[in-house]
């Protein structure tokens, strides 16, 4: 176990794990964690796929569609996570996040922008008091293949620069090797490093492969103190899918009943159209329930989605589609 | 709250005539008698059309037409018959939306189910049996299996067009000709199918459709020139048919009632099991002969499962069958509604605990909310009798042996479902359940390649798959 004191953090990971979350006693050892996670009900892939597909056939029209589009805009974590990101690019994206459609002030702001740690300060400055939050990926994103010290330092850097939300990645290697305690301790340590910042834990479901793993990783993250569980980095295919999100929504629903704490869900990657976004909202509505239909409890990690939402919104208002050049590319 | 706005499927696509005759020898003809019946939309009680009631003489005309056509149709090479059946399948696909709307209007089922389940299966059934028409010598019934002759077919109202497909597709593929009587409450898609036969240039008399109620069906079944009787419906009527054809040369297949056990073990994938329970008993308002109407749940997970089930039932959307977001449509008829009410009241009177989610019921039409009875004993009527409605009876068990014992403790044996993540237990159960279909971690899944039929009082003979050919061949 790595000492966190060297990074100027209060307490240690052991103390953190006993104070962060209910059900922490299951993390007493790797074997108790394993027993708990493997004792969760299994997920039947065929059935989960069928349920998600059925909910995907819901027909959301007229007033419901209008409502859904605005809600989806308010849930977007507008994201840029590229090696080529620059302060200029981030500033432009922040302007878009605050006023997605400069010609229509009735369009709400998005929930947050999501950037790499070194660009957090730029984003914080650009967003000012707009109310749009700054989220930062951290912990050797996207692979998570580094030491705990580096992961914690990465987190500390982002928090110190003003990030209100941290999107960490789990150690998928450790998870797949059955070393659940390592994954737990890393999440708990990063949670401690977050301070008051919200922690989103990225499971990278495309690498976990089975829905049983998705359910176990969801519970593991929640027990370790996650405020949100997130599907993907966007760097691995498949990224977010409806059935994976369904399994995660079931997990947060059950966790609230079991542990009395509400956790949010964020599908990220591959959500590009309004139609897709609305399918996710239906999934939330009929799985975790309407209590989760709020940017505090559900986010959509996306970049190109926003313009499609704006285009559909304008179509609903005017009855016509404007060309893509009428929507800004930032 | 995220309220879904109404999303009705347009009914403009269907063209319902004010009145229909009988489809005999490729022509629309008026019945010889005065009999007329009305078919209504069970969701609104609006009259959709007036339909002929075929008398004994009309049935005779239809059987004669089928007999005459049999000479032509049975002599046609299988590859030629296949062309006609493939053509019918394609026309059904092309007109799927229209047929789905028509089915929903006449039956009361949600358009989502008519569109996503009934119609794809109908087309698939014709495609599947079209493929057999020129391969009958490879079906395992000898080098040159021969058709039976004229098939008299009587179908129920729960899946009107799908049951028609189950009956007509294998009959035609094997070289038989048919006289089919649809249910009196749901004749419209069968009459639309008659039009499709014309559109496909099917030789006159190969398919004849006679409408009417029980009397018409009885006339068809007892007609001396019918070689084969196929019936899907209640066990009570099935018994009458078996009596009426006893001692004759007629070959019979009966697909009757059921009281299927849906068995959930403690290690099941619970969220999917809940979906399977919902799909098992609330699909098509529970108007399904193989519905999972008895939930047998292992005591150790009973409470957790029932909580999850009730939570899930609260999200079911009951209402306008043509709304694309409707999950539970209308009960097909006033008579069926009365039967469901009567049995539900008996359930309460016998001491079971009744529960339904709060759900608004429309003012007009025939409706019954999704209903769950807990604390049900094997001796209760709601555990023994087929309700044929959205009513689930919940019983518990402690061991696999007890589950098998309770599941088999019924005069029926059409289907069963087993939910466990343990493969060996699944196989152990499947080999002991006396049911024609055992679904493993799913329920109400149908496929034209898979045989379907019952043990015990759920009937005899198989429909679907290679096995389904046997019912229409002289073997």
Name the catalytic one among A96, A133, A191, A266.
A266
Clarify whether residues B128 and B111 are in a common domain.
yes
CB A64 to CB B4 under 8 A?
A: yes
Minimal C-alpha gap between B110 and chain A (Å): 13
CA B173 to CA B78: how far, in whole Å?
7
Beta bridge partners of B50: B19, B38
- Kindly list the residues from chain B whose CB atom is less than 8 angstroms away from the CB atom of residue A58: 4, 324-325
Residue A134 near residue A165, CB atoms below 8 Å: yes
* Cis amide leading into A238 (omega within 30): yes
CB B272 to CB A68 under 8 A?
A: no
Handedness of CA B225, B231, B237, B240 (dihedral sign): positive
- Kindly list the residues from chain A whose CB atom is less than 8 angstroms away from the CB atom of residue B276: 47
Q: Where are the alpha helices (DSSP H) in B325-431?
A: 334-349, 381-384, 400-408, 423-430
Clarify whether residues B249 and B344 are in a common domain.
no
Name the catalytic one among A154, A167, A171, A276.
A167
Max Cα-Cα span within chain B: 65
Using a 10 angstrom Cβ sphere, with 0-12 exposed, 13-18 middle and 19 or more buried, the burial of residue B398 is exposed
Phi, psi of A110, rounded to the nearest 5 degrees: -80, 175
DSSP for A50-110, written as a single string: HHHHHHTT----HHHHHHHHHHHHHHEEEE---TT--HHHHHHHHHHHH-SSTT-TTSPP-
Residue B145 near residue B475, CB atoms below 8 Å: yes
- pLDDT for A17 equals 41
Domain borders along chain A are: 7-318
> Which residues of chain B fall below pLDDT 50?
none
In terms of CA atoms, which chain B residue is nearest residue A51? B275
Q: Which of B10, B116, B270, B272 to mutate to test the interface with A (most CBs of A within 10 A)?
A: B272
- pLDDT for A263 equals 98
Q: List pLDDT tens digits, range A221-255.
A: 999 999 999 999 999 999 999 999 999 999 999 99
Q: Residue B140 to residues B132, B329, B459, B466: CA-CA distances in angstroms?
A: 12, 42, 23, 9
Helix (H/G/I), strand (E/B), else coil: A288: coil
- pLDDT for A4 equals 37
Q: Domain for residue B319, yes or no?
A: yes
Q: What's the CATH number where B352 sits?
A: 3.40.309.10
How high does pLDDT run on average in chain A? Answer: 93
CB B5 to CB A62 under 8 A?
A: yes
Percent of chain A with pLDDT over 90: 90
* Tokens (6 digits) for A191: 């949670």
CA B450 to CA B173: how far, in whole Å?
17
* DSSP-derived pairing of the beta strands B459-460 and B251-255: antiparallel
- Domains in chain B, number: 2
CB B315 to CB A43 under 8 A?
A: no
- pLDDT for A21 equals 57
Estimate to the nearest angstrom the gap between the alpha carbon of B255 and the chain centroid.
9
Clarify whether residues B123 and B198 are in a common domain.
yes
pLDDT higher than 70, residue A20: no
Q: Domain for residue B447, yes or no?
A: no
- Kindly list the residues from chain A whose CB atom is less than 8 angstroms away from the CB atom of residue B271: 41, 43, 47-48, 51, 250
Clarify whether residues B248 and B275 are in a common domain.
no
User: Residues in chain B whose beta carbon is closer than 8 A to a beta carbon of chain A?
Assistant: 1-7, 112, 116, 267-272, 275-276, 315, 324-325, 421, 441-442
Clarify whether residues B265 and B250 are in a common domain.
no
Q: List pLDDT tens digits, range A196-223.
A: 999 999 999 999 999 999 999 999 999 9
Clarify whether residues B190 and B101 are in a common domain.
yes
- Tracing tokens 């389940």 back to the chain, one arrives at B117
CB A250 to CB B271 under 8 A?
A: yes
Q: Domain for residue B197, yes or no?
A: yes
Q: Domain for residue B449, yes or no?
A: no
Clarify whether residues B278 and B241 are in a common domain.
no
For the domain made up of A7-318, give the CATH fold.
TIM Barrel (3.20.20)
Clarify whether residues B27 and B134 are in a common domain.
yes
Across the interface, of A47, A250, A282, the residue whose CB is closest to B276 is: A47
Clarify whether residues B242 and B379 are in a common domain.
no
pLDDT higher than 90, residue A302: yes
Clarify whether residues B235 and B266 are in a common domain.
no
Q: Which segments within B74-141 are labelled E, that is strand? A: none
Q: Residue length, chain B?
A: 475
How high does pLDDT run on average in chain B? Answer: 97
pLDDT higher than 60, residue A19: no
* Tokens (6 digits) for B460: 């005899």
- Kindly list the residues from chain B whose CB atom is less than 8 angstroms away from the CB atom of residue A71: 2
User: Which candidate, A76, A63, A142, places its Cα nearest to that of A280?
Assistant: A76
CA A167 to CA A290: how far, in whole Å?
24
Q: What's the CATH number where B61 sits?
A: 3.40.605.10
Q: Domain for residue B63, yes or no?
A: yes
Across the interface, of A50, A58, A293, the residue whose CB is closest to B4 is: A58
Q: Could you confirm whether A179 is annotated as catalytic?
A: no
SS (H, E, C) B437-458: EEEECCCCCCCCCCCECCCHHH
Across the interface, of A43, A59, A65, the residue whose CB is closest to B324 is: A59
* Tokens (6 digits) for B124: 């698939």
Phi, psi of B232, rounded to the nearest 5 degrees: -125, 130
pLDDT band at A10 (very low <50, low <70, confident <90, very high): very low
Q: Which of A39, A40, A42, A45 to mutate to test the interface with B (most CBs of B within 10 A)?
A: A42
User: Which candidate, A263, A285, A299, A278, places its Cα nearest to that of A132?
Assistant: A299
**Catalytic site positions of B:** 255
Domain housing B357: 261-440
């Amino acid at each position: 176990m790595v000492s966190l004191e060297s990074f100027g953090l209060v307490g240690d990971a052991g103390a953190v794990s006993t104070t962060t979350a209910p059900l922490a006693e299951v993390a007493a050892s790797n074997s108790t964690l394993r027993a708990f996670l493997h004792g969760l009900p299994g997920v039947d892939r065929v059935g989960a796929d069928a349920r998600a597909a059925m909910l995907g056939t819901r027909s959301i029209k007229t007033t419901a569609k209008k409502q859904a589009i605005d809600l989806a805009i308010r849930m977007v974590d507008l994201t840029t996570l590229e090696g080529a990101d620059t302060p200029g690019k981030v500033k432009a994206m922040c302007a878009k996040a605050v006023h997605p459609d400069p010609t229509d002030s009735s369009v709400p702001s998005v929930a947050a922008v999501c950037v790499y740690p070194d660009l957090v300060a730029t984003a914080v400055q650009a967003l000012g008091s707009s109310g749009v939050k700054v989220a930062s990926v951290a912990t050797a994103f996207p692979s998570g293949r580094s030491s705990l010290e580096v992961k914690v330092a990465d987190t500390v850097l982002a928090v110190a620069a003003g990030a209100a939300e941290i999107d960490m990645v789990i150690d998928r290697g450790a998870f797949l090797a059955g070393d659940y305690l390592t994954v737990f301790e890393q999440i708990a340590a990063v949670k401690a490093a977050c301070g008051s910042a919200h922690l989103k834990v990225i499971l990278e479901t495309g690498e976990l492969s089975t829905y049983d793993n998705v359910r176990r990783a969801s519970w593991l993250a929640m027990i370790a103190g996650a405020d949100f569980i997130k599907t993907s980095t966007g760097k691995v295919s498949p990224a977010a899918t409806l059935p994976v999100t369904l399994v995660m929504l079931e997990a947060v629903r059950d966790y609230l009943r079991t542990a009395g704490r509400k956790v949010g869900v964020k599908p990220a990657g591959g959500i590009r159209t309004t139609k897709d976004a609305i399918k996710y909202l239906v999934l939330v509505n009929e799985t975790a329930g309407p209590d989760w239909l709020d940017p505090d409890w559900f986010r959509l990690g996306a970049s190109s989605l926003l313009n499609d939402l704006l285009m559909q919104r304008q179509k609903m208002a005017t009855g016509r589609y404007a060309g893509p050049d009428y929507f800004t590319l930032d | 709250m995220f309220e879904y706005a109404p999303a009705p499927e347009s009914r403009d696509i269907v063209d319902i005539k004010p009145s229909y005759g009988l489809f005999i020898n490729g022509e629309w003809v008026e019945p010889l008698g005065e009999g007329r019946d009305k078919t209504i939309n069970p969701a609104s009680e609006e009259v959709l059309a007036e339909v002929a009631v075929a008398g004994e003489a009309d049935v005779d005309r239809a059987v004669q037409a089928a007999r005459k056509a049999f000479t032509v149709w049975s002599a046609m090479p299988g590859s030629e018959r296949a062309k006609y059946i493939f053509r019918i399948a394609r026309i059904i696909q092309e007109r799927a939306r229209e047929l789905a709307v028509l089915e929903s209007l006449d039956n009361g089922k949600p358009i989502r189910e008519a569109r996503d389940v009934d119609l794809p299966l109908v087309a698939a059934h014709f495609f599947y049996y079209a493929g057999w028409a020129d391969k009958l010598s490879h079906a395992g019934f000898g080098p040159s299996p021969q058709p039976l002759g004229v098939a008299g077919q009587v179908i129920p109202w729960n899946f009107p067009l799908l049951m028609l497909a189950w009956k007509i597709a294998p009959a035609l593929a094997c070289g038989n000709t048919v006289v089919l009587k649809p249910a009196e409450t749901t004749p419209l898609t069968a009459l639309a199918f008659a039009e499709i036969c014309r559109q496909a240039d099917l030789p006159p008399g190969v398919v004849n459709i006679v409408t009417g109620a029980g009397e018409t069906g009885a006339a068809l079944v007892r007609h001396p020139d019918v070689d084969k009787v196929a019936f899907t419906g209640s066990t009570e009527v099935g018994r009458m048919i078996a009596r009426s054809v006893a001692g004759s040369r007629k070959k019979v297949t009966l697909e009757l009632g059921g009281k299927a056990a849906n068995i959930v073990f403690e290690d099941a994938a619970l969220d999917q099991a809940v979906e399977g329970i919902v799909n098992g008993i609330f699909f098509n308002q529970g108007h399904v002969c193989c519905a999972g109407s008895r939930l047998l749940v292992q005591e150790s997970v009973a409470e957790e499962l029932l909580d999850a089930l009730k939570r899930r039932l609260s999200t079911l959307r009951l209402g306008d069958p043509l709304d694309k977001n409707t999950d539970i449509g209308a009960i097909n008829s006033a008579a069926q509604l009365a039967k469901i009410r009567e049995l539900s009241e008996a359930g309460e009177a016998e001491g079971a605990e009744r529960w339904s989610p709060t759900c608004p019921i429309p003012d007009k039409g025939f409706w019954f909310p999704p209903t769950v009875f807990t604390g049900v004993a094997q001796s209760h009527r709601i555990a023994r009798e087929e309700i044929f409605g959205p009513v689930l009876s919940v019983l518990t068990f402690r061991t696999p042996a007890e589950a098998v014992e309770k599941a088999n403790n019924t005069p029926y044996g059409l289907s069963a479902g087993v939910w466990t993540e343990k493969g060996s237990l699944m196989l152990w159960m499947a080999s002991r359940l006396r049911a024609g279909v055992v679904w493993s971690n799913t329920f109400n899944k149908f496929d034209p390649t898979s045989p379907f039929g019952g043990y015990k009082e759920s009937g005899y003979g198989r429909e679907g798959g290679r096995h389904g050919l046997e019912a229409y061949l002289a073997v």
